[in-house]
């Protein structure tokens, strides 16, 4: 654990989730948003959503809306962001475009950045030459920049002429040679990087757009961000960010960093990808996503019948561990228990079976009335015409047997429709001479029950079995198949009570007439 605390200063905590709208939000991104949210709530701070859309070539229509809808579905509500403009608006970087140039120019004036005019071909030649010379990761850096076309190598008047001429250029950060950059990461402890391993990243392009690195630092500073909580894939960029804070004179306001561990695939090593989800049959996105170019549809947790609470719970525990072994947490409990100090450095393996377990737990604990509301769309789409009260009854019977919301309807279809086929295995094994008679007698006896509740039918049914010296396994399995078509399911007398007397009678009678000749 790092030797320092996650929240030492008395500044109001302000954190941000800063996705680029380049596609649907992956589970890893949702977890980043969640941890930011939990951290903000825990410390009484603000949680911002900032859309980092400076790279227009990677912009995907619909991605921003998707991100916002995902956060809304999960209840990860932001205090400031698109549609919730606060003091620091706008929250979309493309709308902040005019703000960035001055900082790129400030860096040039102070000698920490420079203009570079190299063409794509020239950059490619540089790479090839460096590779030939034995470099494994050729880059534009403190050595190679000296032989390229930039304001460090060209005379000042030529630089000016090129700019006035409208020649395309970029502005690059001038990484100092052989210095150690220290970074205190709240998850990883002290990280030290030698600047010789860094490249002169592009900060600004001649189209007037900053790149991610510049826009991100400028906005974090202007928006008074105190903690940068983001995925581990951004750790290699962090030393450059630390240098930018220093070069811009903002070191005193530099946020604390916390780089979250990767979410790993369930089997083998490596980051969890959409391909793993497709291969193993689970969603890696919160909501269903239709790719606007290919039309390809990727499944989502919401559409697959997950509770948002379960998804939150699953994600919270992917990389963070509570002090005790508690596994089920409400959002409020997570806010209470969460701390960056308990986030692990090691990648967290995604466990799909566990994800289903969480959903089952949530499903079981959801009140019937609420569950019925969630099941209703599936029931309607499936053509079931039942009252709310009936649906609640069906939920009560099926909730122990369902993993997903839609299972209540799909696995419990016989609660909504009379069977059209009968489980042959059970019938072949259990139907004995005389079974049909016994079933008719039992049906007649049950039909006299006034209360017609699960309990009253059960005591009546059991008394009848006893009086006829029959064990439960003698005819009840056949009774169940005639009633539901299936060999197993929830308590049989509860099913009778839910279906009601008339439906029970008509199902058993038509089941008997269909099956009797075949089995007796």
> Distance between CA 187 and CA 347 in Å, rounded?
12
Residue 487 corresponds to which tokens in the numbers above?
């060999």
Q: Let me know if 113 is exposed, middle or buried by CB neighbors in 10 A (0-12, 13-18, 19+).
A: buried
Long-range Cβ contact pairs of 158-164 (< 8 A, separation 24 or more):
159/115, 162/115, 162/117, 163/115
The one segment of 158-166, 228-236, 243-251, 463-471 that binds ligand GLU by CB under 6 A: 228-236
DSSP string, 325-390: ------HHHHHHH--GGGB-SS-EE--HHHHHHHHHHHHHHS-HHHHHHHHHHHHHHTT----HHH
- Residue the block writes with tokens 């070539």: 57
Instruction: Give how far the C-alpha of residue 76 lies from the chain's centroid of Cα atoms, to the nearest Å.
Output: 11
Closest CA to 211 of 237, 191, 185, 181: 237
Determine which residue in the list 13, 14, 20, 227 makes contact with ligand GLU, applying CB under 6 A.
20
Residue 234 lies near ligand GLU (rule: CB under 6 A): yes
Residues 6+ apart with CB under 8 A from 461: 442, 445, 446, 476, 493
Is residue 132 annotated as part of the catalytic site, yes or no? no
The least distance separating ligand GLU from the CB of residue 18, rounded to whole angstroms, comes to 4
Among 174, 230, 265, 406, binds ligand GLU (CB under 6 A): 230
Q: Which residue lies nearer to ligand GLU by CB, 18 or 443?
A: 18
CB of 20 to ligand GLU, least distance (A): 4
Q: Is residue 392 at the binding interface for ligand GLU, with CB under 6 A as the rule?
A: no
- Cα Rg of the chain (Å, integer): 32
Q: Identify which of residues 145 and 230 has a Cβ nearer to ligand GLU in the complex.
A: 230
Min CB(68)–ligand GLU separation in Å: 15
475 phi-psi bin (left φ>0, alpha ψ -120 to 50, beta other): alpha
**CB of residue 180 to ligand GLU, shortest distance in Å:** 22
Residues 6+ apart with CB under 8 A from 454: 491, 493, 494, 496, 497
Residue 130 engages ligand GLU in binding (rule: CB under 6 A)? no
Residues 343 and 516: their CA atoms lie apart, in Å, by: 64
Only segment of 16-24, 37-45, 342-350, 478-486 that touches ligand GLU (CB under 6 A): 16-24
> Least distance from C-beta 29 to ligand GLU, angstroms?
7
* Nearest distance in Å: CB 36, ligand GLU: 9
* 435 sits near ligand GLU (criterion: CB under 6 A): no
CB burial of residue 273 (10 Å; 0-12, 13-18, 19+): middle
Q: Of 14-22, 111-119, 275-283, 372-380, which segment contacts ligand GLU by CB under 6 A?
A: 14-22
What single string gives the DSSP state of each residue in 430-477? H--TTHHHHHHHHHHHHHT-SS--HHHHHHHHHHHHHHTT--HHHHHH
Q: Does the protein bind ligand GLU through residue 239 (CB under 6 A)?
A: no
Question: Of residues 7, 13, 18, 260, which one binds ligand GLU by CB under 6 A?
Answer: 18
**Does residue number 52 form part of the binding site for ligand GLU (CB under 6 A)?**
yes
Q: How near is the Cβ of 362 to ligand GLU at its closest, in Å?
A: 29
Q: Which of 216, 226, 299, 392 binds ligand GLU (CB under 6 A)?
A: 216
Select 222 or 297, whichever has its Cβ closest to ligand GLU. Answer: 222
Q: Tell me which stretch binds ligand GLU (CB under 6 A): 227-235, 264-272, 302-310, 374-382.
A: 227-235
Distance CA 265, CA 58 (A): 25
**Closer of 54 and 359 to ligand GLU (Cβ):** 54
Instruction: Choose the catalytic residue: 84, 205, 274, 516.
Output: 274
Q: Which is nearer to ligand GLU, 29 or 485 (CB)?
A: 29
Active-site positions read 274
Contact footprint for ligand GLU (CB under 6 A): 18-20, 52, 212, 216, 228, 230, 234
């Amino acid at each position: 654990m790092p030797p320092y605390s996650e929240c030492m200063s008395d500044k109001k905590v302000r954190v941000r989730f800063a996705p680029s709208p380049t596609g649907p939000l992956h589970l890893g991104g949702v977890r980043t948003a969640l941890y930011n949210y939990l951290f903000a709530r825990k410390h009484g701070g603000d949680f911002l959503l900032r859309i980092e859309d400076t790279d227009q070539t990677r912009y995907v229509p619909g991605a921003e809306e998707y991100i916002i809808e995902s956060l809304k579905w999960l209840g990860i509500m932001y205090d400031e962001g698109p549609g919730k403009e606060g003091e620091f608006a706008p929250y979309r970087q493309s709308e902040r475009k005019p703000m960035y140039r001055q900082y790129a120019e400030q860096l040039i004036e102070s000698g920490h950045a420079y203009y570079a005019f190299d063409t794509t071909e020239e950059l490619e030649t540089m790479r090839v030459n460096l590779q030939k010379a034995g470099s494994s990761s050729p880059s534009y850096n403190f050595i190679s920049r000296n032989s390229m076309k930039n304001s460090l190598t060209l005379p000042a008047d030529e630089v000016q002429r090129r700019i006035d001429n409208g020649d395309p250029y970029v502005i690059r950060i001038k990484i100092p040679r052989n210095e150690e950059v220290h970074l205190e990461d709240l998850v990883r402890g002290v990280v030290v990087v030698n600047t010789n391993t860094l490249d002169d990243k592009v900060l600004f392009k001649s189209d007037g757009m900053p790149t991610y690195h510049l826009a991100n630092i400028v906005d974090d500073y202007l928006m008074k961000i105190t903690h940068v909580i983001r995925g581990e894939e951004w750790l290699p960029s962090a030393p450059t960010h630390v240098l930018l804070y220093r070069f811009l004179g903002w070191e005193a306001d530099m946020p604390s960093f916390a780089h979250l561990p990767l979410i790993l695939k369930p089997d083998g090593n490596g980051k969890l990808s959409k391909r793993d989800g497709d291969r193993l049959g689970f969603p890696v996105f919160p909501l269903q996503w239709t790719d606007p170019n290919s039309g390809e549809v990727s499944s989502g947790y919401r559409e697959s019948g997950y509770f948002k609470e379960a998804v939150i719970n699953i994600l919270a525990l992917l990389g963070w561990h509570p002090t005790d072994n508690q596994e089920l947490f409400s959002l409020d409990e997570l806010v209470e228990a969460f701390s960056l100090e308990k986030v692990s450095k090691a990648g967290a393996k995604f466990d799909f079976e566990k994800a289903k377990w969480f959903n089952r737990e949530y499903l079981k604990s959801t009140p019937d009335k609420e569950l019925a509301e969630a099941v209703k769309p599936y029931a309607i789409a499936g053509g079931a015409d039942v009252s709310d009260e009936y649906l609640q009854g069906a939920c009560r019977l099926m909730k122990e047997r369902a993993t997903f919301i839609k299972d209540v309807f799909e696995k419990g279809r016989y609660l909504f429709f009379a069977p059209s086929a009968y489980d042959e295995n059970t019938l072949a094994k259990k139907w004995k001479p005389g079974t049909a008679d016994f079933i008719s007698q039992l049906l007649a006896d049950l039909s006299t029950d006034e209360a017609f509740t699960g309990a009253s039918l059960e005591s009546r049914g059991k008394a009848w079995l006893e009086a006829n010296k029959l064990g439960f396994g003698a005819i009840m399995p056949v009774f169940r198949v005639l009633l539901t078509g299936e060999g197993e399911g929830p308590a049989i007398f509860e099913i009778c009570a839910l279906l009601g007397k008339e439906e029970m009678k008509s199902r058993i009678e038509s089941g008997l007439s269909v099956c009797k000749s075949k089995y007796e």
